[in-house]
Structure 1
Amino acid sequence: MDPQLLLPLLIVLFAVMFYMQIRRQKKANQEQQKLQNSLTAGDRVMTTSGLFGTVVSTADNSVDLEISPGVVTTWLSAAIREKVDTEQDSDGEQAAADTAEDDTAEASDESKAAKTGEAESTESKTETAKAETTESETGEAKATESGAEVAEPIEKQKTS
């Protein structure tokens, strides 16, 4: 390939990629503007932070959302990500509730298993300590798991 054509080709390639990026961004902005202009009272929406609410009223740059019965908050209209179908929303909330219950049950089971394991571990440590104490008192050498002697026989001294 001719080196004189390489630079113009790279410039054209960069310009095309830049144009496509700008075009995609403009299209997304138009869709967002269209959504914001179409909001009416009673629409179920989701904000960019994931909060679900029902539109109570709209102003130029703000939207009042009812997030629970009697609780109305004011949001910038740019914070509205999408309209949500009420059927889809209730199904999603039910699925989220089911998942939360399953996670809680699993955590409870794991907690019980961990406590049981701790209890078993404590019991075995206590038994090991008792055995070591008994062996030391009798003057016998005890061996660790690796087989090395840990304690020497204890000689009892007679006191006069």
Structure 2
Amino acid sequence: MQNLYSILMFVVIFAFMYFLIIRPQNKRNRELKLLQDSLKPGDNVVTFAGIYGEIVEIGTATVVLRIAPKTEIKLERAAIKGLAA
């Protein structure tokens, strides 16, 4: 009987961790991937480093951002955190 309670407690803790930590993180990752796949030139974005810019050019794995007049940087598409407000 004691072993049954131990196993049950382990299952409850795992379920708690799954629904409070793992599942929401997977959902955020899916949403971020969809956002990164839907980017287009002209979008104003922010990177994980906190750099704001406008997308000038998009490649398969890279993005060119204009962060100031005559200043462009090339980043990985995965570095885009979201759309700027």
TM-score by length of 2: 0.86
- Distance, in Å, in 2 between the alignment partners of 1:83 and 1:41 is 12
Q: 1:65 maps to what in 2? A: 65
Q: 1:80 maps to what in 2? A: 80
- Corresponding position: 1:26 with 2:17: no
Q: Which runs of 5+ in 1 are unaligned?
A: 86-160
Higher RCO (CA 8 Å, separation ≥ 6 residues): 2
User: SS of the residue aligned with 1:82?
Assistant: strand
Q: Deviation per CA, 1:97-116: give whole Å up to 9, x if none.
A: xxxxxxxxxxxxxxxxxxxx
Q: Which runs of 5+ in 2 are unaligned?
A: none
1:22, CA displacement in angstroms? 2.5
TM-score by length of 1: 0.48
1:12, CA displacement in angstroms? 1.1
Q: 1:6 maps to what in 2? A: 5
| Correspondences of 1:6-155 after superposition (within 5 Å) | 6-20=5-19, 21-85=21-85
Higher CA-based Rg: 1
Query: RMSD across aligned C-alpha pairs, in angstroms?
Result: 1.5
Query: Larger strand proportion, structure 1 or 2?
Result: 2
What count of residue pairs does the alignment treat as equivalent?
84
List, as ranges, runs of 4+ consecutive aligned residues in structure 1 with deviation greater than 6 Å: none
1:68, CA displacement in angstroms? 0.4
1:15, CA displacement in angstroms? 2.3
1:44, CA displacement in angstroms? 0.6
1:77, CA displacement in angstroms? 1.0
Q: Deviation per CA, 1:110-156: give whole Å up to 9, x if none.
A: xxxxxxxxxxxxxxxxxxxxxxxxxxxxxxxxxxxxxxxxxxxxxxx
1:58, CA displacement in angstroms? 0.9
- Counterpart amino acid of 2:56? V
Query: Larger helix proportion, structure 1 or 2?
Result: 1
